[in-house]
Amino acid sequence: MTLQLSDVSKSFGATTVLEAVGFEVERGTRLAIVGASGSGKSTLLRIIAGFEEPTTGSVGLEGRRLADSTTNVGAHRRGIGYVAQDGALFPHLTVRGNIAFGLRRSPSREKRVHEVMELTSLDPELLERYPHQLSGGQQQRVALARALAPAPTVILLDEPFSALDTGLRAHTREAMVAALERSGVTTILVTHDQEEALSFGHQLAVISGGRLVQAGPPSEVFDAPLSAEVAEFLGAALFLPARTTGSGQAVCAFGELDVRHDLSNGGQAVRAMLRPSQLHVGGPTGEGDARVTAARQNGSTVELDLSLHDGFALTHRVPLYDGHRFPAGCAVSVRVDGGVVLYAAAATSDRAGTR
């Protein structure tokens, strides 16, 4: 076990930012913590780094107590690396100066600088450049190299890709994940980007309103979100009123569908959740399962307003070039692959947008 958090809470005055957060991170794994702005994820990271003290609870690393009610080991004594959102490279130092910053003066220092440069796929020609002479992606990789240089036990990444352009973001993320993979260091990433969180790590934790609401392997969390809120936060989701049949199936506007996970706590009237990727809209047919009430071209997709037979309405996108035309008023077939997740019934809209 590398890192342990137990019942960590944090308040600023009367405002509680974190409430009884606890989890464990295995050595060498990557954990992504995802949450909306203001959910407390950055505060959590700052507590682990040692920049903030927890109000209650404890933080431990490799069996060593870092913070609790009586202890608070300084950030500089924790052996935890930190990569800030903007990289936070020291502007008065070159790339070499930045990477060597946390290394003791010794003959092996230069060797280590070159090692982490290679690890993070940075061109040695950049060594004498100053931060303002680097691209955004290079800056973030230098920041990672700098954090990796002293060989920390854990690396913390605070939304390191959010300041980058969309194209650069994916490329930098891949390069950084590859570097972290090669280094084998335990890593925690906080982000508000669901895709980033789902693709980053071995583990995913969802934080909301200062509470850890779900944690587990990303596919498991995505597949069976413990609440409708988590389901919506992790990606587009379609909720339909449904009722259970008692034989592992649920009946909704799409007909009778298999139940993947039943989180409704019993009761017949429930809500069924499915992902838009599970829906397949076929070409116009005679009767069909739904009627197209409007169709709008939106780049390489067509956005269809569909009305199901029982009056349930939804918006769904289909590829522009899938061989079908969808004039308004036509009937279409709708197929649902995979099962649904059931939640307790709640007031829902009769119209939903899916992507």
Partner 1 sequence: MLFAAAALIPLGYVMLAAFDMGWAQFAELVFRPRVGELLTNTVLLVLLGVPFTVILGVGGAWLVERTDLPARRVFAVLLVVPLTIPAFVASYGWASAIPSIHGLGGGLLVATLAYYPLVYLPALATLRGLDPALEESARSLGMNGWRVFIRVVLPQLRLAMLGGGLVVALHLLAEYGAFAFLRFETFTTAIVVAYQATFAGPNAAALGVVLAGLCFVVLVIEAAARGRLRYARVGSGTPHPASRVALGRATPFVVAALVVLVGAAAAVPLTNVARWLFATDAADWQPLLGATWQTVLLSVAGALAAIVVALPIAWISARYPGRTARALEGTYYVASSLPAIIVALALVTFTLRVIPVMYQTVATVVAAYVLIFLPRALVSVRAGIAQIPENLEEVARSLGVSPLVAKGRVTMPLLVPSLAAGAALVALGAANELTATLLLAPTGTRTVATGFWAAASAIEYAAAAPYALTLVLLSVPAVVLMFAQVKARRSG
Dihedrals phi, psi of 59, to nearest 5 degrees? -125, 130
Q: Which long-range contacts (CB under 8 A, 24 or more apart) does 165-171 make?
A: 165/136, 168/135, 168/136, 168/137, 171/137
SS3 3: strand
CA–centroid distance for 346 within its chain: 26
Residues 16-55 that bind partner 1 (CB under 8 A): 49-51
Dihedrals phi, psi of 139, to nearest 5 degrees? -60, -45
* Contact flag: residue 144 with partner 1 (CB under 8 A): no
Residue length of the chain: 355
CA–centroid distance for 177 within its chain: 14
DSSP character at residue 107 = T
Tell me the window of 16-24, 105-113, 145-153, 288-296 that interacts with partner 1 (CB under 8 A): 145-153
* Contact flag: residue 275 with partner 1 (CB under 8 A): no
The binder of partner 1 chosen from 11, 28, 75, 249 (CB under 8 A): 75
Min. distance of Cβ 37 from partner 1 in angstroms? Answer: 18
Binding string, residues 180-219; x marks residues near partner 1 by CB under 8 A: ----------------------------------------
* Contact flag: residue 136 with partner 1 (CB under 8 A): no
* Contact flag: residue 92 with partner 1 (CB under 8 A): yes
Tell me the window of 25-33, 83-91, 228-236, 320-328 that interacts with partner 1 (CB under 8 A): 83-91
Min. distance of Cβ 54 from partner 1 in angstroms? Answer: 17
The amino acid present at 95, given as its one-letter code, is V
**Contact indicator for 99, 145 with CB cutoff of 8 Å:** yes
The binder of partner 1 chosen from 44, 66, 80, 212 (CB under 8 A): 80
**Contact indicator for 202, 31 with CB cutoff of 8 Å:** yes
Residue 131 vs 218, nearer CB to partner 1: 131
Contact set with partner 1 (CB under 8 A):
49-51, 74-82, 84, 86, 88, 90-92, 101-102, 143, 146-147, 149-150, 152, 156
